[in-house]
Amino acid sequence: QRQDLVRLHQWLLTESAWAVGICGHFDEEKLWDLLSGTLGKLPIESRGDTFKVPSVAPFHTKTIVQQHQRHQAFVTVGYLACSLADPERVGWEVLDEGAGDASSRFFIKVREEMGLAYSVGTSLALGLAPGLFSVYAATAPEMATEVARLYHEEIGAIASEGLSQHELERSKKKLLAQLGFQRQNLETFCHTLALNQLYGFDLDYFDRRQQQIEQITLEQVQAVCRKYLMDKPSITVIVKA
């Protein structure tokens, strides 16, 4: 309703956090004058309590099967991960990169060796609250249960053994290449810095994160695997005909 939009508008103008990112060639003094004459006129009110991240409710391992009239099935297995501000974030990113590409153990075993899936991958979604790490596959309906079993088997191996040295180095190279691309694209880099401000990180966070990726060790990644994957609850979802 209209009053809901009015309240949202007032909140955005007076209480929400803003970060303005500007990239390209510009005259700093003229730009500052322009911003002061526009954004500087917005009303400023004291912000209330900062956003409180809710705690994660306890959950248990379970499998959800959903029937859908499709010719193929989709399988995903998810585990609780960390938050953006957690020091273990880089370990998760290395694990996700190492487990999710076409050279990963999931892809090679499930798709290449056993031919059980059309597509295989991983997903890592982190936020202010602890996020989600998942492995997924598109497969034939009659293969869905077997794919889920193999995923749990491989995740168990990663939980106890971690990544190999080769997987670690491959993941680090890809993550560093992605950061390098972000630096080359001014718009993307500017957007990243602005988001980091909203997340509560300083302007040096981008550089520190790059150093963390360069310096992370196999033992640190293995510690993340054990902490979050070994004997931890998971949610398996199977959608099939």
What are the sequence ranges of the domains in the chain? 2-41, 62-240
Mean pLDDT, residues 135-153: 95
Q: Does domain 62-240 have CATH number 3.40.50.11720?
A: no
| Percent of residues, the chain, with pLDDT higher than 70 | 95
Residue 80's beta-bridge partner residues? 132
- Give whichever of 188-192, 200-204, 229-233 has the largest mean pLDDT: 229-233
Closest CA to 48 of 18, 5, 14, 9: 14
Assess contact for 84 and 199: CB atoms under 8 A.
yes
Backbone angles phi, psi at 44, to 5 degrees: -120, 125
What distance in Å separates the CA atoms of residue 95 and residue 205, rounded to the nearest whole number? 21
Mean pLDDT, residues 39-63: 76
- Give whichever of 32-41, 66-75, 139-148 has the largest mean pLDDT: 139-148
Mean pLDDT, residues 155-166: 94
Backbone angles phi, psi at 236, to 5 degrees: -110, 130
The confidence score (pLDDT) of residue 15 equals 65
Mean pLDDT estimate for the chain:
90
pLDDT at residue 49 tops 60: no
Cut 0.75: pTM above it: yes
Mean pLDDT, residues 120-140: 95
**Burial category of 172 from C-beta neighbours within 10 Å (exposed 0-12, middle 13-18, buried 19 and up):** buried
The confidence score (pLDDT) of residue 20 equals 83
